[in-house]
Amino acid sequence: MERVPILKIGDILLVSIQVDMSDQTAVQLQEDLAERIVATGSHGVIIDITALDIVDSFVGRMLSAIASISKVLDAETVVVGMRPAVAITLVELGLSLNGIRTALNVERGMELIAAARADEWHEADGDEDAETTATS
Amino acid sequence: MALDAESRSRLSRLLTEHAERLTERWTGLVVASLRGRLSQAELARQVRELHRSMIDALAGGLTDLADEHGGELRAVLSELSRGRARQGFSATETAISVFAIKDALLELIEQDRDAATLRDFLALSALIDQMGLFTFESYVRTRESLIADQAEQLLELSTPVVKLWEGVVAVPLVGTLDSARAQVVMERLLQTLVDTGSPYAIIDITGVPAVDTQVAQHILKTVVAARLMGADCIISGIRPQIAQTIVALGIEFGDIATKASLADALRHVLRLTGVETTSRRARREA
């Protein structure tokens, strides 16, 4: 069975899907990814689908599932590198990737995750400030 | 009424004997019908060529325009009608160039009241009718290929994607947006987003004369597809009437940003990307 490799770059896990996804591969990927997120303590997952010619409802559901799993483990998921033809087909089919953030390429995806993290920190800081003012 | 060998030889003799008078009269009739939009010398050349290939075809044993002896005659005729179609003449004006030979020929044989001559003329007339129809068909074919070419050129011409800023591209849409064009626009925009890595696209519809539900549908699809790829779209250039139509038709743009002008859209995008624009005091000319 083919396995999708998961690479760690700094605080981010990079998954580049280069093979046709089967049920087994998808389940294996979800398990591997969940383990790696916990093991490395990563806060961002980038799924690169540049090599995918076809994204059907199955792949769409898999991506949504990965995003949900990562969310539970406090990691932001960004799908990058969707081809124009794939996007057009998805729109024509009326499929939308709910709850998934997208970016044009890996670089933009990393920026997006960094920005999301910064927002979170900022919000947390803001809350602390509010608490301090309230107590003082 | 098919041409037999005897009448063919009689006809080709008739055409050859009176060649000078016939072509002159023929040219005269064609010139009158075209009202001087083509030079007399050019017309005389075409008529002589047609005349020559008719004689050749008759001498070669032509019975029907579609058979193998009519090859050269067909080539001359299609050349003639292609030329006429490209120069913008009407179908009637093109066909008259062929039919005029009937009048010219009739004037020639009028004094000759022989029954055989009359039969020959009728047979030849049938052939000329075939020639006329053939001319008309090649005329239409030429026109249709012209129209197809133009439609293709229009499709290529009217969908540029321009880079406005680092990471911002714009598509100024001009003209009616039908399904075929919308498809081309969508594909080109999405491909440009990938090629340039721009996370923002502005679709400017200033040049779209009318927005109906179908056009809106196409624009919305493009925006959703761009979002799936990780880019954001802003729609700009909505004229007052268009805004009223959109509301009247109940079209919902949802959370897609819409701006009145391209400048507003660009300012909006620049603010999103964190670029600040400050106006400096205008430099005074000394």
Per-residue pLDDT tens over the stretch B111-148:
776 777 788 888 888 888 888 898 999 999 998 998 99
Residues B149 and B166 in one domain: no
Q: Do A109 and B190 touch (CB under 8 A)?
A: no
Position B281 in a domain = no
Residues 6+ positions from A96 with CB-CB distance below 8 Å? A90, B224, B228
Q: Are residues B146 and B14 in the same domain?
A: yes
- B90 and B48: one domain? yes
Report the gap between the CA of A94 and the closest CA in chain B (Å).
10
Closest CA–CA distance from residue A52 to any residue of chain B (Å)? 13
Residues B96 and B204 in one domain: no
Q: Is residue A102 part of a domain?
A: yes
Structure tokens at B256: 């897609």
Of the three residues B153, B184, B212, the one that is the final residue of a domain is B153
**Contact between B230 and A82 using a beta-carbon 8 Å cutoff:** yes
- CATH code for position B215: 3.30.750.24
Indicate the length of chain A as a whole number. Answer: 136
Number of domains in chain B: 2
Q: What range does the domain containing B49 cover? A: 5-153
Size of interface A-B (CB pairs under 8 A): 59
Cβ atoms of A12 and A44 within 8 Å: the answer is: yes
Query: Where is the domain boundary, B91, B126, B153?
Result: B153
Is the pLDDT score of B216 beyond 80?
yes
C-alpha to C-alpha distance for B270 and B89, rounded to whole angstroms: 54
Tokens 């002159």, residue?
A: B24
pLDDT (average), residues A48-72: 88
Question: B205 and B136 share a domain?
Answer: no
B232 C-beta neighbours (distance < 10 Å), count: 16
Residues B218 and B124 in one domain: no
Are B197 and A80 inside 8 Å of each other by CB?
Answer: no
Range of the domain at A71: 6-111
**Contact between chains at B197 and A108 (C-beta distance less than 8 A):** yes
Domain count of the fold of chain A = 1
Residue A82 lies in a domain: yes
Say what the ipTM of the complex is. Answer: 0.75
Domain assignment of residue A129, yes or no: no
Q: CB B230 to CB A104 under 8 A?
A: yes
Q: What are phi and psi of B253, to 5 degrees?
A: -95, 0
* Alpha carbon distance B160, B169 (integer Å): 10
pTM of the model: 0.64
Q: What is the predicted pLDDT for the residue at A134?
A: 46
Q: Which residue of A has its CA nearest to B197?
A: A104
Using the Cα atoms of residue A18, residue A24, residue A27 and residue A30 in order, give the sign of their dihedral. Answer: negative
Q: Quick one: pLDDT at residue B158? A: 66
Same domain, B229 and B254: yes
Give percent of chain B above pLDDT 90.
14
Alpha carbon of residue A23 to chain centroid: 19
Among A53-57, A126-130, B269-273, the range of highest mean pLDDT: B269-273
